[in-house]
Amino acid sequence: MKLIQVLKSTSLLCLFLSFSLPASADTVPASDTVVLGMGCFWGAEKRMSEIPGVIKTEVGYAGGTSASPTYESVSKEGHSNKPATHAEALKVTYDSRVTTLDKVLAAFWQNHNPTQGNRQGNDVGSNYRSAIFYNSASQQKAALQTRDIYQQALSKAGLGNITTEITPLKAFYPAESYHQQYLKKNPNGYCGLGGTGVAFPGNSLAAPIAVAPLDGKKLSTQQLVVFESEVCNFCKAFEKDIMSQWKSDVGIAKTYATKAPAGWALKEDLWATPTIVLFENGKEAARYTGYDGNKQRFWRWLGVKTLTAEQRKIAFEKGTELPFTGSNLDNHAAGYYVDPVSGERLFRSDKKFNSGTGWPSFFDPLPGALVLKEDTSHGARRTEVLSASSGIHLGHVFDDGPPPTGKRYCINSAVLKFVPDKKDKTI
């Protein structure tokens, strides 16, 4: 009898403990998810995955009517601003023991520009709209409250109204596998995401810096502007290959801004980085979009846009100027003859001699300045001379020159720019 009473008491105690003791850490919900639209989902994923407490991200599509969206279909519909287009979206899973939804949303607001409607930076279309797709009443409340807080900060900074769509999540469609963690797998990929530069009040994470357009009054009448982005290894390659060695007469400047220099005008929106735009008198004259490491392709583009018709015929069509007509034929001043496109030095004046042929002639180029190529055009077998930097045609080289090389580099005057020594007084 006593044993039965003991067992009953023990059972009651176990039952009481099961209701009164706090749940173990394993039973407490440790994560939650929210779906966000911030423009290009590659950049959104990179930015949000770096937020403390975010444990998983997945890119996809949300907010549209199609039951089988693909990157191609969403992009096509978005570029035409078709109604009910899916937005490029990001599902963010965060550890609720480390961070809160409010903190995740604070990072969301300040890591993109929520005032642009159907675009984000250089990316234009309804698929790039700003959006919060909530899955509960508490998420909706947090979205609206943080929106109002950030709007006050934006208004104080002189910026416009938030256009972010705040709507229930109907479905989230994961994007194709190659889009997942794209910028980790493809560090050279383009990311057009940028913020307003306005921090979310009370948020400890630094806001991305917003960059003002260049001042057009401080630039040249003929000016190249390189439009870059923060996450852009192609931009770094262009900087290393081209800009770091810049010697061309055409001015060049770079910016993270997505707008033309103040007072100047672009013909159309930018959509990739780097984009190199040639401005003439404050107006876009030409643009070169992207950079794949092909230096001579870039220089050819610049040469086509900046050289005269006579120079282009020689540089790109292997033309030849009439003998005894070139402006550099009888030049005897001290200095360097340089590539008219890249500005790189080709010949020194003390290596020039009078060959009597009617073209400027040199017996020795500067080291590494030229590339020689077999030329069998016009029924003859000759050696063509190209500029190593820009790849433009300069002339030909023959074996009837003076000592010590015995070479005669016969060069068209029109594709030589002379730069006199500063101490030279004859020019």
Q: Which residues are catalytic?
A: 40
Cβ proximity of 181 and 99 under 8 Å: no
Report the greatest alpha carbon distance in the chain: 131
* List of residues 6+ apart from 178 with CB closer than 8 A: 185
Tokens of 212: 């003002």
Q: Which of 413, 410, 312 is nearest to 370 (CA)?
A: 410
Tell me the C-alpha to C-alpha distance, in Å, between residue 136 and each of 36, 77, 104, 163.
Answer: 14, 28, 16, 21
Place of tokens 């903190």: 103
Which residue is it, tokens 């959509």? 271
Reading across the β-sheet that carries 361-362, which strands appear in turn? 352-353, 361-362, 408-411, 393-398, 382-387, 370-375
Q: Please name the residue that has the structure tokens 């852009």.
A: 232
**Measured between alpha carbons, how far is 339 from 345 in angstroms, rounded to an integer?**
6
Cβ count near 267 (within 10 Å): 11
Residue 144 neighbours by CB under 8 Å, 6+ apart: 166
